[in-house]
C-alpha cells in the first residue's frame, strides 16, 4: 500500500526544509562541491561519447581532466584577468566619457545644462562617483569573490570533486535509482528524465550559445579596435540567455563607446552595429534553435526570479543551484497541471470524456 499523500507531503516538506537549512548554514562549505558536481554533470555527455569510442570510464575522465588542466584553466585565468583589467580601465575612463557627453549637450542644448539643471547635477554626480570609487569597486568585487570562494580550497577541492563524480556518475545514478520507492519509481524516472532534458537543453545548450556569442562579440569588437571590446563581449555573452537583452545591452554599450572613440570615423561605428546585428541573427536563427531547442521549459522571467531569490537568500551558492531548482519546479508544476486536468475536480462529477 502506497504511503498516504499527507505523509508524503510531510516528508518532502521536511526534506525541503533540511535542504534550505544546509544552503543557509553551509553555503560556503558546499560551494566547491556544488561547482564540482555542476562540472561533472556538464562533462558527463562528453565522457559517455568517449566511452562509445572505446575509452574506459577512467580513460575518458582522465582525458577530460587533462584537457581542462592544459587548455581550459589557463585560458580562463587569462580571460578573467583581462576582463578585470579592462573593467577597471572602463570605470576609470567613464568620467572622461561623461565629460565629453556634457560638452556635447552644453554646445547643442545649453538650456539643459544651466546651474540648476537636473541633468547637469546627475552627470556631475555620476562622474565624481565613478572617478572616486570605480577602481576600488572592481578591486572590492574581485577580492570579495576570492574571499567567498576561498581560492586555495576551491582550486584544490573542485577538480578533485569533479573528477570523482564524473568517474562514478553512472554508478551513482544507478544506486539512486535502486533506492526509489517501487510504487512511484516509473513516475519519478519520467520526471527525472524530463528535468534532465530541461537542464541539458538549457544549461548545456544555453551556456554553449553564451560562450560562442561572447567569444564572437569580444573577438570582432577587438578586431575593429574598440576599446574595452573584451568586457563588452563578455557582458553581452553572459546575458544572452535572456532573449534579445544580450544583444540590446551589449550593442548599446558598444555603440556608445564607439561614438566616443570613432566620432571622426563613422564607418567603425556602423561596423560595431553590424557586429551585433550579425550576432543577433546567429543567435535567433542558428545557435539557439540548434543547441537549445524550442521546448526548454524555463521561461526567462521565471529563471531571473529564481536567480534573484536564491541569490538573495543563499548567496553565490544559491545562484548556482537556482537553475536546477527552477527546472525541477517547472517540471513538477507541469506534471501537477496534467494531474489536475485529469482529475474529477477539473473534469466535473458527471463527465467521462
**For 146-173, what is each residue's pLDDT tens digit?**
444 455 566 677 888 889 999 998 899 8
**How far apart, in whole angstroms, are the C-alpha atoms of residue 183 and residue 4?**
12
Q: Where are the alpha helices (DSSP H) in 109-168?
A: 118-149, 151-167
Q: Tell me what pLDDT residue 135 has.
A: 52
Q: Is residue 214 part of a domain?
A: no
Confidence of residue 131 (pLDDT cuts 50, 70, 90): low
Residue with cell 572602463: 90
How many domains does the chain fold into? Answer: 1
Q: What are phi and psi of 2, to 5 degrees?
A: -70, 150
Rg (CA), the chain: 25
Give the separation between CA 33 and CA 286, rounded to whole angstroms.
34
Between 290 and 122, whose confidence is greater?
Answer: 290
Q: How far apart are CA 142 and CA 131, in angstroms?
A: 18
Q: Is residue 233 predicted with pLDDT exceeding 60?
A: yes
Measured between alpha carbons, how far is 224 from 271 in angstroms, rounded to an integer?
8
247 lies in a domain? no
Q: How many CB atoms lie within 10 A of CB 297?
A: 19
Asked if 36 and 161 touch (Cβ cutoff 8 Å), the reply is yes
DSSP state of 286: I
Q: Domain limits at 130? A: 11-179
- Specify if 251 maps to a domain: no
State the Cα–Cα distance between residues 142 and 81, nearest whole angstrom: 10
Taking residues 76-81, report their average pLDDT: 72
Is 79 inside a domain boundary? yes
Residue 72 lies in a domain: yes
Question: Does the residue 82 lie in any domain?
Answer: yes
Give me the residue label for grid cell 567603425: 268
Number of Cβ atoms within 10 Å of the Cβ of 31: 21
Residue 193 lies in a domain: no
Tell me, yes or no, whether 277 lies in a domain.
Answer: no
Percent of the chain with pLDDT over 70: 71
Amino acid at each position: 500500500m502506497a504511503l498516504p499523500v499527507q505523509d508524503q507531503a510531510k516528508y518532502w516538506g521536511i526534506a525541503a526544509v533540511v535542504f534550505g537549512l544546509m544552503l543557509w548554514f553551509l553555503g560556503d562549505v558546499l560551494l566547491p562541491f556544488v561547482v564540482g558536481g555542476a562540472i561533472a554533470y556538464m562533462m558527463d555527455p562528453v565522457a559517455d561519447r568517449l566511452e562509445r569510442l572505446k575509452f574506459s570510464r577512467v580513460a575518458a575522465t582522465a582525458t577530460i581532466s587533462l584537457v581542462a588542466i592544459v587548455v581550459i584553466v589557463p585560458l580562463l585565468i587569462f580571460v578573467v584577468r583581462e576582463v578585470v583589467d579592462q573593467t577597471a580601465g572602463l570605470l576609470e575612463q567613464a568620467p572622461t566619457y561623461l565629460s565629453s557627453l556634457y560638452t556635447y549637450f552644453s554646445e547643442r542644448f545649453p538650456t539643459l545644462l544651466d546651474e540648476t539643471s537636473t541633468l547637469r547635477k546627475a552627470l556631475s554626480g555620476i562622474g565624481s562617483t565613478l572617478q572616486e570609487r570605480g577602481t576600488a569597486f572592481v578591486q572590492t568585487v574581485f577580492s570579495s569573490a576570492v574571499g567567498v570562494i576561498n581560492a586555495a580550497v576551491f582550486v584544490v577541492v573542485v577538480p578533485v570533486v569533479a573528477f570523482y563524480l564524473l568517474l562514478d556518475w553512472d554508478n551513482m545514478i544507478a544506486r539512486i535509482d535502486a533506492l526509489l520507492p517501487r510504487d512511484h519509481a516509473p513516475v519519478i524516472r519520467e520526471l527525472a528524465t524530463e528535468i534532465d532534458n530541461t537542464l541539458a537543453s538549457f544549461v548545456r545548450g544555453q551556456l554553449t550559445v553564451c560562450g560562442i556569442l561572447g567569444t564572437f562579440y569580444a573577438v570582432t569588437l577587438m578586431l575593429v579596435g574598440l576599446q574595452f571590446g573584451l568586457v563588452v563581449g563578455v557582458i553581452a555573452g553572459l546575458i544572452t540567455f535572456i532573449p534579445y537583452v544580450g544583444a540590446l545591452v551589449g550593442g548599446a554599450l558598444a555603440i556608445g563607446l564607439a561614438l566616443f572613440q570613432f566620432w571622426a570615423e563613422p564607418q567603425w561605428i556602423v561596423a560595431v552595429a553590424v557586429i551585433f546585428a550579425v550576432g543577433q541573427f546567429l543567435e535567433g536563427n542558428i545557435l539557439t534553435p540548434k543547441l537549445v531547442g524550442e521546448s526548454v521549459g524555463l521561461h526567462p522571467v521565471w529563471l531571473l526570479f529564481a536567480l534573484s531569490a536564491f541569490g538573495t537568500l543563499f548567496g553565490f551558492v544559491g545562484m548556482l543551484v537556482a537553475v536546477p531548482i527552477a527546472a525541477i519546479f517547472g517540471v513538477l508544476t507541469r506534471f501537477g497541471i496534467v494531474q489536475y486536468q485529469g482529475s474529477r475536480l477539473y473534469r466535473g462529477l458527471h463527465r467521462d470524456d
